[in-house]
């Protein structure tokens, strides 16, 4: 494919009237490619600079800023790197003292020619804050090795300094806490924020826009033309571009006299409409537009679209200025869609088009999968609802009735393009193909619609229309100068024709140059003039094309110009050179900037790697070689990851890098790499994709910053933080356990006191019951004797006897006294159990009866073991009685801490009751009766090992495996907030294992119940050792 630059200008006769057009086309492929490569190279290098985490400035010999990267511009208070150009340190936000110091230091580095690295300093930022900086100053040399300026790279190490200060404070705090363990623990939260710098590519929009406009100007689709209609009906094309040959398959020259050959190529079905459109535009002078077909040489018809603006000429003729573009692909797509409508009726659900059937009332009768995806409503949501409810926006509801009437009456509405709205409220543009549905009798029963979402296509067409408008403007404003340069045999040279653009390029009047070209040649730079003259002479002599670049001096300043022409010798001996001159000053400036940016990228401390789109290395800078130990030849054409990753490199990070690269997205993160010698080092890695002008992936740029020092600080800080948290956890647990022990000791004293207070009146009642019983028997005997001797008492006595039911009192009094004795016995048992359980505060090891401790625990929990109803959140639950099965073995007296051991029994049995109560809330009384809740307590002594085992087994719901592993952890609980501290089982475990040198084991299976096995020695450890 070749790139052409085409210039079209009107031609005037001697009377000054337009008599035709002059077109000049030149192959500019090499120039375009070079300029594109230069722009891409500059963009690539600027992207590298902007993604380097350090701040980068470069200045000339006078300490005037010549550029910087994006991070440096932000620190300096500039919106973009371009704003810093031409400024000095005194224009920056730092203090005058800092500016003086920077300029003096820069001067010493440039004078000595020696770089100064890792200068630690502070600086005032644009926001007024002071930052710690690690600065490198490197002399900037040109191609001859002369120092022409200085490159300054700056790394913000404020966070590192803050981390060092924080680390020192933590060390001091840790030492204080170790020395004062008994003091209250103070909370300390230390966070280290990871450095996260978002670096984005800043494109030079103006230059990119100019590049796109150049490409558009060189690739105008179709043809540009002038069409003239005279008053006598004669039609011709005064000017047509070379693309006209592709439209009508007719050579352009004959059409300048007669337009008839062009119309013969138009499809017969389209010719009448074409002529009608021309007639209408002739009458109204409205813009002409039309679409038609022509027969291509391949035998296929092609679709074209013409757009033109008419203007009436002084002589009465009408001239249309317009263009023609090929729309065959669009028409072909539309034809395919139309044909598909007839073929896919049986594939409705598999169709990529939304297919909808409407009733005569515009209600949905059918709604395929594509309609669900397009509009967001499921089939069930859509059926029976009207289109106005579902997909018609407010602006289109008024037209719905009209369209439906047109469809039902067969007067229109079969094809419409309009805006619709989805369930989520998104606006989309849809192409509707509607067809009236009829039954076997030909009666209308509804409407069948096929819908295509053309939102994206409309956006593309809008862009195409904008592109056509831009091309039209470009055709009217071609940059540079187009000219005919004539060299006569006598040596005189002039420009017989030169375009108006020469005024801007050469800054000379056209009339002067048309008479004599000497004024233009006089402005060629003295150093370039001899070479340029030699090149012209050689081209004229050999008739070879000329391409040359040179400096040109004008009143407004110096420019770089590029001249291209093709010489032709005329019959009279003179040589006419057809060509153009363009201003390439910007390109030359870009080339200089590219060279400067390349130098900066090569001298930065960060490693820079550039790969192709497949990840194969194309270029690395010196810092990469220094950090990794690999030379460029060793990594060229290879994937850097395969060389640098090692055994401890995070596979998760590697997978994340691969995933983002496959998605052609940027990546930033930390990674552990290995150098050539196998030494590991930490990097902050930033990878960015690079896209060419067509939006295609072309390369990847990786910036690697050494963060080894920071990672060492982080590791040290993390270790000390973990030690501090461990100490905090131990102190907190000890504190809670002390509080819990105090509570249990107080509870034991309280229970013992209550038991003592209750025991005294109970003993009084119990001791007097014997006398009450004897007195009652004596009174009953007296009454019996009285009844024997006085069987007929007086009426007053008889009335009192009947009222007080003496016979019933005689029978019930004995029963009442027996009940009182049983109650008193029960109170004495409870008091005994309370005394046994109240030994929590006993600190000495004593010989105790394990069974007595278990029995006291069961006595205290007796009320919870009985059947009862519970009301929770307004709902009443029935809980049956929990049976306790005792399988006691013959145990010796065991030396232990009886109070704490009773606490263990209490915790385990109470937890079992809680679990079975929770389960019974979901069971019916019948289920509870069929499988009642039970607790089995078994004890056994092992004489050989000198240990006893207490097993407490319930048939509750069981404990999940993941909870079993944490059941003895401090503060772990599965109960609701306020119903458990999470310390019961943890303290029980410590009582058994630490205080008694025993073991506590939990064995559970979901749905089968839970068993806790307590094993302790018969003799305490202290006695055994003694």
Task: Measure the CA–CA gap between 537 and 885, rounded to whole angstroms.
Answer: 123
Task: Measure the CA–CA gap between 710 and 679, rounded to whole angstroms.
Answer: 17
Q: Which two tokens stand for residue 101?
A: 């110091």
**What phi and psi, each to the nearest 5 degrees, are found at residue 1017?**
-75, 150
Q: Is 320 exposed, middle or buried (0-12, 13-18, 19+ CB in 10 A)?
A: buried
Say if CB 991 and CB 904 are below 8 A apart. Answer: yes
Contacts 24+ apart (CB under 8 A), 439-447: 444/360, 444/408, 445/359, 445/360, 446/357, 446/358, 446/359, 446/360, 446/365, 447/357, 447/358, 447/362, 447/404, 447/407, 447/408
Give the gyration radius of the chain's Cα atoms. 50
Task: Measure the CA–CA gap between 652 and 572, rounded to whole angstroms.
Answer: 80
E strand or H helix at 548, and its extent?
Answer: strand 546-554
**pLDDT value of residue 205:** 57
What topology is assigned to 479-490+503-589 in CATH?
Beta-Lactamase (3.30.450)
Task: Measure the CA–CA gap between 532 and 1009, rounded to whole angstroms.
Answer: 103
Q: What is the DSSP string of 208-228?
A: HHHHHHHHHHHT--SEEEEEE
Task: Measure the CA–CA gap between 509 and 860, rounded to whole angstroms.
Answer: 117
- Assign domain 221-326 to its CATH architecture: 2-Layer Sandwich (3.30)
Q: What is the dihedral of CA 534, 539, 540, 546, to 10 degrees?
A: -110
Domain boundaries along the sequence of the chain = 54-156, 221-326, 332-467, 479-490+503-589, 602-712, 727-830, 861-1025
**pLDDT value of residue 840:** 45
Say if CB 142 and CB 125 are below 8 A apart. Answer: no
602-712 and 54-156 share a CATH fold: yes
pTM for the predicted model, two decimal places: 0.31
- Distance from chain centroid for Cα 643: 29
Q: Is 11 exposed, middle or buried (0-12, 13-18, 19+ CB in 10 A)?
A: middle
**pLDDT value of residue 551:** 93
**pLDDT value of residue 602:** 63
User: For the domain 54-156, what is the CATH superfamily, name and number?
Assistant: PAS domain (3.30.450.20)
Q: Which two tokens stand for residue 737?
A: 């356990």
**pLDDT value of residue 301:** 81
Strands 934-942 and 883-887: parallel
Distance (Å) of CA 807 to CA 493, 792, 800, 803:
158, 15, 12, 11
Q: What is the DSSP string of 740-786?
A: HHHHHHHHHHHHHHHHHHHHHHHHHHHHHHHHHHHHHHHHHHHHHHH
Contacts 24+ apart (CB under 8 A), 359-366: 359/445, 359/446, 360/404, 360/408, 360/444, 360/445, 360/446, 361/386, 362/386, 362/387, 362/388, 362/400, 362/404, 362/447, 364/390, 365/446
- Residue 677 Rama label (left phi>0; alpha psi -120 to 50; beta): alpha
Question: May I ask the CATH class of domain 332-467?
Answer: alpha beta
Buried b (16+ CB within 10 A) or exposed e, 815-837: eeeeeebeebeebeebbbbbebb
**pLDDT value of residue 887:** 93
Per DSSP, which regions of 113-271 are E strands? 116-124, 130-141, 147-156, 223-229, 235-240
Low-confidence ranges of the chain (pLDDT < 70): 1-35, 38, 41, 125-128, 167, 171, 174-221, 297, 337-348, 468-478, 590, 594-603, 729-760, 762-764, 766-768, 771, 801-844, 870-875, 877, 970-983, 1021-1026
- Assign domain 602-712 to its CATH architecture: 2-Layer Sandwich (3.30)
Residue indicated by tokens 């193909």: 433
Could you count the other beta carbons within 10 Å of the beta carbon of residue 452? 20
Could you count the other beta carbons within 10 Å of the beta carbon of residue 548? 16
Which of 241, 237, 236 is closest to 224 using CA atoms? 241
CATH of domain 861-1025: 3.30.565.10
Q: At what angle do helices 898-920 and 850-860 cross, to 10 degrees?
A: 40
- Distance from chain centroid for Cα 69: 26
Which of 119, 77, 87 is closest to 101 using CA atoms? 119
Could you count the other beta carbons within 10 Å of the beta carbon of residue 252? 19
């Amino acid at each position: 494919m070749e790139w052409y630059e085409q210039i079209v200008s009107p031609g005037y006769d001697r009377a000054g009237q337009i008599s035709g057009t002059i077109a000049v086309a030149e192959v500019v492929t090499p120039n375009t490619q070079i300029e594109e490569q230069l722009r891409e190279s500059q963009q690539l290098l600027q992207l590298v600079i902007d993604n380097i985490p350090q701040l980068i400035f470069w200045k000339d010999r006078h300490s005037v800023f010549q550029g910087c990267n994006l991070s440096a511009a932000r620190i300096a208070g500039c919106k973009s790197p371009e704003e810093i150009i031409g400024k000095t340190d005194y224009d920056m936000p730092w203090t005058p003292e800092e500016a003086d110091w920077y300029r003096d230091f820069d001067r010493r580095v440039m004078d000595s020619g020696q770089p100064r690295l890792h200068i630690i300093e502070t600086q005032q930022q644009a926001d007024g804050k002071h930052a710690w900086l690690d600065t490198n100053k490197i002399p900037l040399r040109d191609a001859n090795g002369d120092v022409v300026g200085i490159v300054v790279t700056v790394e913000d190490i404020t966070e590192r300094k803050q981390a060092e200060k924080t680390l020192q404070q933590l060390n001091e705090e840790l030492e204080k806490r170790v020395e004062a363990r008994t003091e209250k623990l103070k909370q300390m939260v230390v966070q280290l924020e990871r450095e996260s710098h978002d670096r984005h590519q800043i494109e030079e929009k103006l230059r990119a826009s100019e590049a796109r406009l150049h490409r558009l100007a060189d690739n105008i689709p179709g043809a540009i033309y002038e069409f003239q209609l005279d008053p006598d009906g004669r039609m011709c094309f005064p000017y047509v571009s070379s693309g006209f040959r592709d439209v009508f398959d007719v050579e352009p020259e004959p059409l300048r006299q007669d337009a008839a050959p062009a119309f013969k190529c138009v499809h017969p079905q389209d010719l009448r409409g074409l002529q009608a459109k021309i007639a209408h535009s002739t009458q109204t002078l409205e813009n002409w537009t039309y679409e038609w077909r022509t027969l291509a040489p391949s035998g296929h018809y092609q679709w074209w679209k013409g757009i033109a603006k008419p203007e009436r000429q002084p002589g009465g003729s009408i001239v249309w200025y317009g263009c023609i573009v090929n729309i065959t692909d669009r028409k072909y797509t539309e034809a395919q869609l139309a044909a598909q409508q007839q073929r896919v009726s049986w594939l409705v659900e598999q169709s990529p088009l939304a297919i909808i059937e409407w009733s005569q009332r515009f209600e949905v009768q059918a709604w395929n999968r594509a309609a669900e995806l397009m509009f967001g409503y499921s089939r069930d949501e859509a059926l029976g609802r009207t289109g106005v409810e579902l997909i018609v926006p407010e602006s289109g509801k008024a037209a719905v009735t009209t369209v439906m009437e047109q469809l039902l009456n067969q007067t229109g509405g079969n094809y419409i393009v309009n805006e619709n709205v989805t369930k989520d409220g998104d606006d989309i543009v849809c192409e509707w193909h509607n067809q009236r549905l009829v039954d076997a009798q030909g009666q209308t029963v509804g409407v069948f619609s096929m819908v295509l979402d053309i939102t994206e296509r409309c956006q593309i067409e809008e862009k195409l229309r904008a592109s056509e408008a831009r091309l039209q403007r470009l055709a009217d404003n071609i940059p540079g100068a187009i000219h005919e340069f004539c060299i006569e045999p006598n040596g005189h040279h002039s420009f017989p024709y030169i375009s108006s653009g020469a005024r801007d390029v050469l800054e000379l009047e056209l009339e002067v140059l048309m008479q004599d070209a000497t004024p233009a040649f006089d402005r060629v730079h003295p150093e370039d003039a001899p070479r340029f003259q030699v090149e012209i002479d050689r081209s004229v002599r050999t008739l070879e094309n000329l391409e040359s670049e040179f400096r040109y001096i004008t009143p407004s300043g110096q420019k770089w110009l590029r001249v291209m022409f093709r010489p032709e010798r005329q019959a009279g001996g003179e040589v006419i050179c057809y060509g153009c001159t363009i201003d390439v000053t910007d390109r030359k400036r870009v080339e200089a900037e590219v060279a400067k940016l390349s130098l900066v990228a090569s001298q930065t401390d960060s490693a820079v790697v550039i790969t192709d789109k497949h990840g194969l290395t194309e270029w690395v800078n010196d810092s990469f070689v220094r950090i990794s130990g690999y030379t460029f030849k060793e990594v060229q054409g290879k994937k850097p990851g395969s060389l640098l990753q090692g055994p401890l490199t995070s596979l998760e990070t590697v997978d994340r890098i691969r995933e983002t690269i496959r998605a052609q997205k940027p990546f930033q993160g930390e990674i552990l790499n290995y150098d050539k010698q196998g030494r590991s080092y930490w990097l902050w890695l930033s990878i960015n994709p690079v896209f060419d002008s067509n939006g295609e992936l072309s390369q990847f740029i990786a910036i690697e910053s050494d963060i080894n020092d920071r990672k060492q600080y982080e590791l040290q800080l993390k270790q000390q933080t973990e030690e501090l948290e461990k100490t905090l956890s131990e102190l907190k647990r000890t504190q809670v356990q002390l509080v819990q022990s105090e509570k249990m000791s107080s509870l034991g004293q309280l229970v013992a006191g209550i038991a003592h207070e209750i025991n005294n009146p109970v003993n009084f009642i119990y001791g007097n019951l014997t006398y009450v019983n004897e007195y009652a028997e004596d009174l009953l005997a007296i009454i019996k004797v009285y009844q024997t001797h006085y069987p007929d008492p007086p009426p007053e006595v008889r009335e009192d006897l009947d009222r007080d039911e003496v016979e019933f009192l005689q029978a019930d009094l004995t029963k009442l006294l027996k009940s009182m004795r049983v109650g008193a016995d029960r109170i004495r048992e409870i008091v005994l159990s309370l005394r046994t359980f109240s030994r929590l505060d006993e600190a000495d090891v004593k010989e105790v009866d394990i069974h007595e401790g278990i029995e006291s625990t069961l006595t205290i929990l007796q009320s919870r073991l009985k059947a009862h109803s519970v009301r929770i959140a307004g709902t009443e639950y029935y809980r049956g009685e929990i049976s306790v099965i005792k399988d006691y073995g013959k145990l010796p007296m065991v030396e232990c801490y009886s109070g704490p051991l009773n606490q263990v029994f209490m915790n385990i049995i109470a937890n079992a009751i809680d679990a079975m109560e929770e389960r019974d809330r979901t069971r019916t009384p019948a289920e509870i009766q069929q499988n009642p809740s039970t607790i089995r307590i078994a004890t056994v002594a092992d004489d050989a090992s000198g240990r006893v085992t207490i097993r407490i087994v319930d048939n509750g719901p069981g404990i999940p495996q993941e909870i079993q592993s944490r059941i003895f952890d401090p503060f772990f609980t599965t109960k609701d907030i306020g119903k458990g501290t999470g310390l019961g089982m943890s303290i029980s475990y410590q009582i058994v294992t630490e205080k008694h040198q025993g073991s506590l084991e939990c064995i559970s299976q979901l749905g089968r119940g839970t068993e806790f096995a307590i094993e302790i020695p018969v003799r305490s450890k202290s006695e055994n050792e003694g």
